[in-house]
Amino acid sequence: MTQEISVMLVDDQQLFREGMALLIESIDDMTLIGEAANGQEAIDLYAVLQPDVVLMDVQMPGINGVEAIRRICAQDRSAKIIILSTFGEDEYIFEGLRAGARGYVLKATESRALSDAVRAVNRGGVWMDVTSASKLVDEFIRLPSPSLHQGASGLMSEPINERELEILRLMARGLRNRDIARQLHLAEGTVKNYISSILRKLNVQDRTHAVARAKELGLI
């Protein structure tokens, strides 16, 4: 008899978790062993349960899914995590995979595709639908050239993506988080998460230094 794949589900929406739980339990070779409602719960629960595969939402209060993936993978390099996302969150594909995720699945995907993704990642593979893979390629194409992020004595730890560049430009104009969120049609919390990522990548502690560093690197 094939051993069941143990799955941990992370999402801040209880109704979604309940629906996913029913779906996972209906699949013969899978079992749901734990649920978390935010990134911190996911980090703590993963350490206890050590599931075969984690299904991770990205937009959550507090520690978001991308940061939770990064921290889990820092503790367990063999962690197998699949990003759960909705339409309009394409920017998380690249960030999530860089953090250590092994797959990307839309929440609206068919149950068969979800089960195939879990099995593939559990076997050590990766999973991404054709549309998401195409967007990932586009993201790589838009990355700044290596000279922008490898020069200046290593002033930049990771490349800045297109959305972060947009936010940096607005920061340079003096816009507040609320104004940036309104202009880019994003939630204010999402903008805060992006800015935290920008500060980390540029190795600075505040917005003023982030703008100065970006200008020094020729990003804006």
How far lies 187's CA from each of 122, 162, 164, in Å?
A: 33, 17, 14
pLDDT in tens, 24-83: 999 999 999 999 999 999 999 999 999 999 999 998 888 999 999 999 999 999 999 999
Residues 6+ apart with CB under 8 A from 216: 152, 155
Q: Which H or E element spans position 209?
A: helix 207-216
Q: Which residue has the tokens 């390099």?
A: 77
Q: What integer pLDDT is reported at residue 148 of this predicted model? A: 44
**Mean of the per-residue pLDDT values of the chain:** 86
Residue 217's pLDDT band, with cuts at 50, 70 and 90, is confident
Q: Which regions of the chain carry the CATH code 3.40.50.2300?
A: 5-137
Quick: pLDDT tens for 100-140.
999 998 888 888 989 999 999 999 998 987 667 776 666 66
Buried b (16+ CB within 10 A) or exposed e, 110-131: eeeebbebbbbbbeeeebbeee
Interatomic CA distance for residues 139 and 29, integer angstroms: 35
Q: What's the pLDDT at 72?
A: 97
Percent of the chain's residues with pLDDT above 90 = 54
Q: Taking the C-alpha atoms of 54, 58, 59 and 63 in order, what is their torsion angle to the nearest 10 degrees?
A: 70
- Give the whole-angstrom CA distance, residue 1 versus residue 46: 26
Query: Is the pTM above the cut of 0.85?
Result: no
Q: Which of 209, 172, 22 shows the shortest CA–CA distance to 180?
A: 172
Which listed CATH number (3.40.50.170, 3.30.70.20, 1.10.10.10, 2.60.120.10) goes with 143-216? 1.10.10.10
CA 57 and chain centroid, separation: 8
CATH 3.40.50.2300 fits domain 5-137: yes
- Location of each CATH 1.10.10.10 domain in the chain: 143-216
Which tops the pLDDT comparison, 137 or 144? 137
